[in-house]
Structure 1
């Protein structure tokens, strides 16, 4: 690792010990495959500073351009032989044997290698992609779609409460990255909607799932935001429809976690990228159906992976995640349409 210490600001550094290695490892970071790095403890204070949890540093490419900002999430010192695959897998540089051979050679040519040498093991998250890295990021990043379903005691967060929600993290090819599920205590400044509660009376099992083990949303929503940020790559919010589930999540994230379900031209914490995906709209257009024939119920059961829509948030989120993967397959088969920068102002 080549760095430029600056005690008055973030560290500017490049991975590896050559421009070629710097670019290769940087591409892994932008792709979300590399969320860890390590260096010899002997170099701390001489060639590079000690990593600090919460510090944000600027990563350079092989040409010395500022490409992205990362934030250190953990720091630990270990003997080289004590580093196991649970850490090396986070480095994203291949199986353990491949990682070990590459790092033995790296340390040997940068001061010497010993199996008992002390190594600083650091994990980090990608915070911001800077202008010099945007083209590469667009090529290598694999978005993770956070498909979310919510249950509530009324139609609007302005008057009612969200009871529960669940999210499934999935890539376009169907690769899963985990789930998040929560039940929320109703807000004291909101009321139940009579029509909605009459419907809930017909759904006793779903009501039980939406109300048992409730937690304060002031605790849950920051935890959810942290979970989203912990996932690799850019995250995209998905709901069916966006105007309902997305509206609730946006309101609760804004109220309790200082962030939003969508990104935008505003300062502050942004855990999602872009305007998100409305499955309702996507399903209608990719089916080639007229607007009055849109609807999630119009999709075949196999699109849902034959998961019934039970109104239990985690069941519905999993079904919608399967729908998203199927719709992305349809989208990828369409001929691409390219615009120019002058098309939108």
Structure 2
């Protein structure tokens, strides 16, 4: 199912307001299926992205906005809604946020290990260097409002 088809179903079910707009559709990280399953199960209710890596024409996530989570085949898995969006330094990401991301043992140590590796690679793809002490992150908290039925 495409993101627009799933979003329309959520609107037709009166779960998402009819005048709401779809902010974006995306895969999580390098393990899209695994992370999408964590979202569906309710274990993953947060995510982190790099402020430096947002495209100039790509708007930052907004509080209350709706997104569609995709699997590795770019099929829509669920509609989520942002409950909180904030910008923090990479080194200021909290244990609570790491736990809410739902990955691994849910510790801040695990979070830093996998995110450091991820951001080093992502920055390199853009010809940039990831520096923990300087990096600004976009932290989002969300909940599932409409899973694929």
Task: Name the TM-score, length of structure 1 as normaliser.
Answer: 0.34
Distance in 2, matches of 1:105 and 1:86, equals 20
The runs of 5 or more residues in structure 1 that have no matched partner are 1-7, 132-345
* Equivalent residue for 1:115, pick from 132, 145, 148: 132
Structure with the higher fraction of residues in helix conformation: 1
Deviations 1:22-69 (A, max 9, x none): 111111111111100010001223485311011111111001101100
Alignment of 1:144-293 (within 5 A): none
Partner of 2:26: 13
SS in 2 for 1:25: helix
Distance in 2, matches of 1:14 and 1:106, equals 14
The answer to whether residue 140 in structure 2 is matched with residue 125 in structure 1 is no
SS in 2 for 1:11: strand
**Backbone CA RMSD of aligned residues:** 1.6
User: Which 4+ runs in 1 deviate beyond 2 A?
Assistant: 44-49
Distance in 2, matches of 1:118 and 1:71, equals 22
Deviations 1:210-236 (A, max 9, x none): xxxxxxxxxxxxxxxxxxxxxxxxxxx
Displacement of 1:84 after TM fit?
1.3
Structure with the higher fraction of residues in strand conformation: 2
Partner of 1:246: none
* Equivalent residue for 2:111, pick from 70, 79, 99: 99
Q: Is the 8 A contact 2:24 2:67 kept in 1?
A: yes
The answer to whether residue 119 in structure 2 is matched with residue 89 in structure 1 is no
Q: Is the 8 A contact 2:82 2:141 kept in 1?
A: yes
Instruction: Name the CA shift for 1:32/1:47 in 2 (closer, same or farther; >3 Å).
Output: farther
The runs of 5 or more residues in structure 2 that have no matched partner are 1-20, 124-128
Which structure has the bigger radius of gyration?
1
Q: Is the 8 A contact 2:80 2:144 kept in 1?
A: yes
Task: Name the TM-score, length of structure 2 as normaliser.
Answer: 0.76
Displacement of 1:86 after TM fit?
1.6
Distance in 1, matches of 2:78 and 2:40, equals 8
Distance in 2, matches of 1:45 and 1:79, equals 19
Partner of 1:199: none
Q: Is the 8 A contact 2:23 2:61 kept in 1?
A: no
Q: Is the 8 A contact 2:81 2:143 kept in 1?
A: yes
The answer to whether residue 59 in structure 2 is matched with residue 59 in structure 1 is no
Distance in 1, matches of 2:55 and 2:100, equals 25
Distance in 2, matches of 1:114 and 1:47, equals 24
